[in-house]
């Protein structure tokens, strides 16, 4: 069964259908990339999956359960995590403190009965684990403001992983990165791949073709093709619509 299913999703902004009868399936452990030109509706889709924007019609199912009308907080508790924008990293806090705050946000009130010492450990342990998973184990005590842009994006990812998600919604994780940083983030996502369902929106085609198990092509809010990377690379309609005929 699919981890995530989207059925006939529609979202209009005035006369514009940003999501126009979109269908999508994500298998457990699958990395499924959504590509398409600027304005195709990729971010609008991610925001609806995260529960931050209400669709006009259609359904979103997680493990077969209808979550279309659930709020973002409820979906987060079910394990849906959206990558945060860089602005959510607090620059005057260390990497570890940033991730501890993310763990705390996820734990909610559950730890208020704990002793201060165990409460502290309940934050530092998962936080340092998450930092190690993204390769920042040796940078834990560095202030976020002293980190390179690429490291800050790794830190964001650690903050997402700290919530022990099942499904990652990544909207352009390589945005604003240098070639080297983008390469590093791709390596990192390759290591995480398979452990989570990942919906990946990304413009860096090298990264997409290396990471994706399947690719869906979105144009004007509609999925015009879905298939294995090789099928997408050689699909004439996709090449015309998006990749450019010389791609
Ligand atoms: P992408 O992420 O693929 O570049 P977006 O999802 O950001 O595309 O946008 C899809 C279309 O919807 C664009 O034409 C955009 O201008 C429009 N759009 C996005 N958000 C809004 C909004 N809040 N209000 C009105 N129009 C919007
Ligand atoms: Mg976008």
Task: Write out pLDDT tens, residues 145-157.
Answer: 999 988 998 999 9
The pTM of this model reads 0.90
How big is the CA angle at 129 (ends 106 and 113), to the nearest 5 degrees?
Answer: 40
What one-character-per-residue DSSP string does 166-198 give? SEEEEE-TTTT--HHHHHHHHHHHHHHTTSSEE
* Rounded distance from Cα 67 to ligand 1 centre (Å): 23
- 40 in ligand 1 pocket by Cβ < 6 Å? yes
What is the Å distance from ligand 1's center to 94 Cα? Answer: 34
Q: Where are the domains of the chain?
A: 1-79+165-247, 89-163
For atom 10 of ligand 1, which residue has the closest CA?
A: 41
| Superfamily of chain region 1-79+165-247 | P-loop containing nucleotide triphosphate hydrolases (3.40.50.300)
Q: Could you tell me if the CB of 108 is within 6 A of ligand 1?
A: no
Task: List, for residues 54-67, the tens digit of each pLDDT value.
Answer: 999 999 999 999 99
Percent of the chain surpassing pLDDT 70: 93
Q: How far does the centroid of ligand 2 lie from the alpha carbon of residue 42, in Å?
A: 5
Q: Residue 111 above 70 pLDDT?
A: no
Q: Which ligand has its closest atom nearest to the C-alpha of 171?
A: 2
Tell which atom from ligand 1 comes closest to the C-alpha of 218.
Answer: 3
């Amino acid at each position: 069964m699919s981890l995530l299913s989207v059925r006939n999703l529609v979202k209009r902004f005035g006369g514009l259908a940003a999501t126009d009868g979109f269908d999508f399936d994500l298998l457990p452990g699958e990395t499924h990339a959504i590509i398409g030109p600027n304005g195709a509706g990729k971010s609008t889709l991610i925001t609806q999956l995260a529960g931050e924007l209400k669709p006009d019609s259609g359904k979103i199912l997680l493990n077969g359960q209808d979550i279309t009308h659930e709020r973002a907080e409820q979906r987060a508790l079910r394990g849906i995590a959206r990558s945060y924008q860089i602005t959510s990293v607090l620059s005057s806090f260390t990497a570890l403190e940033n991730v501890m705050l993310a763990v705390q946000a996820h734990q909610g009130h559950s730890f208020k009965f704990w002793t201060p010492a165990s409460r502290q450990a309940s934050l530092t342990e998962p936080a340092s684990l998450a930092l190690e998973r993204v390769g920042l184990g040796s940078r834990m005590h560095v202030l976020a403001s002293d980190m390179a842009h690429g490291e800050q994006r790794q830190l964001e990812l650690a903050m997402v992983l700290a919530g022990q998600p099942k499904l990652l919604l990544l909207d352009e994780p390589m945005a604003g990165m240098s070639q080297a940083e983008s390469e590093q983030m791709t390596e990192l996502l390759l290591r995480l791949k398979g452990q989570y369902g990942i919906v990946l929106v990304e413009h860096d085609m090298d990264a997409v073709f290396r990471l994706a198990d399947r690719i869906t092509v979105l144009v004007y809010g509609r999925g015009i093709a879905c298939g294995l990377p090789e099928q997408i690379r050689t699909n004439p309609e996709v090449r015309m619509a998006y990749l450019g005929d010389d791609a």
